[in-house]
Each structure stands twice: as structure tokens, then as C-alpha cells.
Amino acid sequence: MQTRRDAEFSEYVAARLGFLRRVAYLLCRDWDGADDLVQRALIKLYVHWARAQAADHTDAYARVIVVREFLIERRSGWSRRVRLDAQPPDAAAAETDHDAALDVRSALFGLPPRQRATLVLRYYCDLSVEQSAWALGCSAGTVKSQTAKGIEALRRALDQEARHG
């Protein structure tokens, strides 16, 4: 029997799954990884559904869970510890993308995970410095410095690609 929680949760996911997947994709760089990340995040979101709904913005709550899950995974260091990719970058998507988007992605995905997460929260999810700091579990100052470093690294990477491209 479907409970009210189930119905509301399903309705929310149906409406916002695309957005959550795109946030996860920006963090993970491939759709397989993004789907795994969203799957784990949705389990947590379901458990905390009452709190998420009570929050000012359910979307904000959901994407914080996605970002924190991503950072937990990165901290556990699977992909950096082992030079094997259980879920390699998605080749099919890459083949169909255009050069400009590929350049941006390659520059973005070259950033360290925490810098990437900071940029995604600030400029894709439109969170303030303070909201991002809460999501990342760090100080506002750290968010500002990570943002500045991330933008500079992004700029350098794009310049470099433009020169070699």
C-alpha cells in the first residue's frame, strides 16, 4: 500500500529527477556514476522526507544530500586509489557532444572534487556562500577561497585548451 510519504516522494522525484541527475553528472562526469549517486541520495531523501519538506526549499535539501554523498564517495577515494574504472567516463555521451561543451566539461572535470562541488553549488545550484558552506561542511571563507581557486583553474584550463585546440 502506498503511503502519503510514498506518494509525495514519488511526485517530487518525478518532477525533479532530471535536475538532480544533471547536478550529479556535473559532479561525477559520467551518467552511470551520476545515476548511482542519485540513487543513493534518493534513499537518504526518502528517510528524511519529513525534514526535507519542512525545509524552506526541498530542492536545496535534496541537492545537499547529492553533494555530500559525492564528497563521501570521493573521500573514500575509490577512483584515486585504484587505477581501474568500474564506471568509466561515458563514451557514448562523449561521442555525441560538441567540441565546446567537451572543452568545458574537460576543464570542469579536471578540478579537484571539492572545488568542482563548490562551483556546482554556487553557480549551477545558485546557493549562497553560506548555504554552500553548510552543504560542504566548511566555513564561508573556505567556500570563497575554493570558488576563487576553482574559477582560476577553470579559466586556465579553458585558455590552455583554446591554445592547443
Taking CB under 8 A as the criterion, the residue among 142, 144, 145, 149 binding another protein is 142
Distances (CA, A) of 2 to 43, 48, 80: 16, 17, 41
**96 lines the binding site for another protein (CB under 8 A):** yes
**149 lines the binding site for another protein (CB under 8 A):** no
**90 lines the binding site for another protein (CB under 8 A):** yes
CB 103 within 8 A of CB 92: no
Taking CB under 8 A as the criterion, the residue among 16, 58, 59, 106 binding another protein is 106
Q: How far is the CB of 94 from another protein (least distance, A)?
A: 7
Taking CB under 8 A as the criterion, the residue among 4, 56, 92, 164 binding another protein is 92
Q: Quote the longest CA-to-CA distance of the chain.
A: 60
The owner of cell 544530500 is 65
Closest CA to 36 of 24, 48, 53, 19: 24
**x/- letters, 43..82, toward another protein (CB under 8 A):** xxxxxxx-x------------xx--x---x--xxxx-xxx
Q: How far is the CB of 97 from another protein (least distance, A)?
A: 5
CB 38 within 8 A of CB 13: no
